[in-house]
Structure 1
Amino acid sequence: MKIKQSGTLKVAVYKDFAPYSANDEGIDVDIANALAKKIGLTLSLLPFQARDDVNDDLRDMVWKGHYLGYGPADVLLHVPVDRRLMAENDKVEIFAPYHRETIRLVRDIRKVPDFENLDSMTGKKIGVEKLSMSAVLMLGAEDGKFRENVKIYSTAAEALEHLKTGELDGVLAARSEIESVLRNDPNFQISKVEFQRLSSAGWVVGMAVKKDDVELIKLLQDATNELVSSGEMTKIFAKHGVQLVTP
């Protein structure tokens, strides 16, 4: 088997993407280590900066490689398990879903004690990450009603730190990002928010490899199944303060 002969599993993870992968740490980094160990290979981590489009990430890190000579990896983690994305990328196999992600609003209950819907945040300062789904949703919500009070930060983690220091009243971000920073602090409450442009059920993430690499697909799927069934996957998420939501 080609991958066994190489002795190494090259895993691509996103840069600056806490709590999943940042500074060679995070949930996806731990998953990469666990997968390599299950298969009996040495891990080679390939962190990379996300492009504007997931299709570009799949091309650069899965089936072709970056034009600057970086990649491809054997597998890319944290890929949306999405039918449309699969249809647009016939050179890759997207499989092994391991977590369901959702967008949530977290608020400081000392400043906003009651929450019914987004209108409860009228006039309140809300933090979002730049160029994120949360930013698009918050800036466009109710014809821009909240726009003047939306504060933009370089990362969701930075916005959440400003929430902790009292500079913000709330933050819209991925649930995992919220959980990893706030760690069940009783002063902050997470709530579901309805947006026309986003299903409240969120989206599922898995991994991607080259379409024709059937043996590697089976190895990774089996290893992922073992991580889930043994409870190791839950422990990896919990280590970073995040509750695993099985797809």
Structure 2
Amino acid sequence: MSHRIVRFCRDAAAALALACAMLPAQADWNKVQQSGALKVAVYSEFAPFSDHGAGIDIDLAEALAKKLKLRLTLLPFPAGENLGDDLRNMVWKGHYLGYGPADVLLHVPVDPHLMADNAKVQIFAPYHVETVRLVRSALAVPAYDGIAALAGKRIGVEKVSIAAMVLLGEDNGRFRDNVRIFPTAAAALEELKAGRLDAVLANRSEIEAVFRGDPAFPLEQAVFQRLPRDGWAVGMAVRKDDQDVARQLQAAVNDMRENGELQAIFARHGVRMVQP
């Protein structure tokens, strides 16, 4: 009898532990539903994705909330020193000033190294592939056959960006004296449009949103040794335990891609969505 009781208690404890392990994912989704709102973190001053309450990621956040039958609560925030800071402040812990965390953060690189370094988050649902491109003034740089064509030209980049890193380091700093640093890519692109720069190195989506195919500002592929030629996918991040929240968001993105809604959001902002 005693062995039977011990075995029963042990089996019951195991079953309870398994049930408890399965509860948080559903409980977290239930918590989101009960709140009535989907809290979405987006980067601020990040045109064309999110800037002053408008952009691709803002439209995406609105569409996700609508599909999940929730109202939208946006949490715009400035990028931190690194992605680990952003994931900590906006996904799994919250900022020490009391801002966040959100239910989901948009525009997170879907990168295995980033995932390995941030075990408390789940990165999923890639919805676009970003690449760095060069846009030039056809008047100032009439022909382009490689980065050497920019010798002596005024080139704009955004501070603390991939574009700035690769350009400043190219060929032992060959172009450093001609590089102009701007707070955002949008600011650099406006200077190019005004004729105060000869070229800008920036993300393709940022360039497309400003120039929208204007032949006076051709788009070129810029090859750098430290730059991934095929670009990088961007997706979403939630807390590691929020498995059911992730499933709901993934299903919503899949549906938007299949019915063309996702592509239409990008097109409204002059950007061609690239399928991951």
For structure 2, the 5+ residue unaligned runs are: 1-29
Corresponding residue number in structure 2 for 1:189: 218
Paired amino acid for 1:243? R
Residues 1:150 and 2:179 are matched in the alignment: yes
Q: Deviations over 1:140-171 (max 9, x none)?
A: 11111111111111111111111111111100
Residues 1:123 and 2:152 are matched in the alignment: yes
Distance 1:224 1:158 in 2: 31
C-alpha RMSD of matched pairs (Å): 0.8
Residues 1:20 and 2:37 are matched in the alignment: no
Corresponding residue number in structure 1 for 2:66: 37
Distance 2:78 2:182 in 1: 17
| Match for residue 203 of structure 2 among 146, 160, 174 | 174
Q: Please report how far the alpha carbon of residue 2 of structure 1 lies from its aligned counterpart in structure 2 after TM superposition.
A: 2.2
Identity of aligned residues (%): 59
- After superposition, where does 1:130-141 map in structure 2 within 5 Å? 130-141=159-170
Distance 1:73 1:244 in 2: 25
For structure 1, the 5+ residue unaligned runs are: none
Corresponding residue number in structure 2 for 1:69: 98
Corresponding residue number in structure 1 for 2:139: 110
Paired amino acid for 1:57? D
Distance 2:203 2:80 in 1: 19
Residues 1:6 and 2:35 are matched in the alignment: yes
| Match for residue 84 of structure 1 among 110, 113, 118 | 113
Across the two proteins, how many residue pairs are aligned to each other? 247
Distance 1:4 1:69 in 2: 22
Paired amino acid for 1:175? R
Give the greater-gyration-radius structure (CA): 2
Distance 1:84 1:136 in 2: 19
Distance 2:275 2:252 in 1: 16
Residues 1:237 and 2:266 are matched in the alignment: yes
TM-score calculated relative to the size of structure 2: 0.88
Q: Secondary structure, in 3 states, of the residue corresponding to 2:169?
A: helix
Q: Deviations over 1:63-103 (max 9, x none)?
A: 10000100000000000000001011111110000000000
Paired amino acid for 2:224? F
Structure with the larger helix share: 2
Distance 1:155 1:3 in 2: 34
TM-score calculated relative to the size of structure 1: 0.98
Paired amino acid for 1:42? R
Distance 1:152 1:57 in 2: 23
Distance 2:170 2:242 in 1: 43
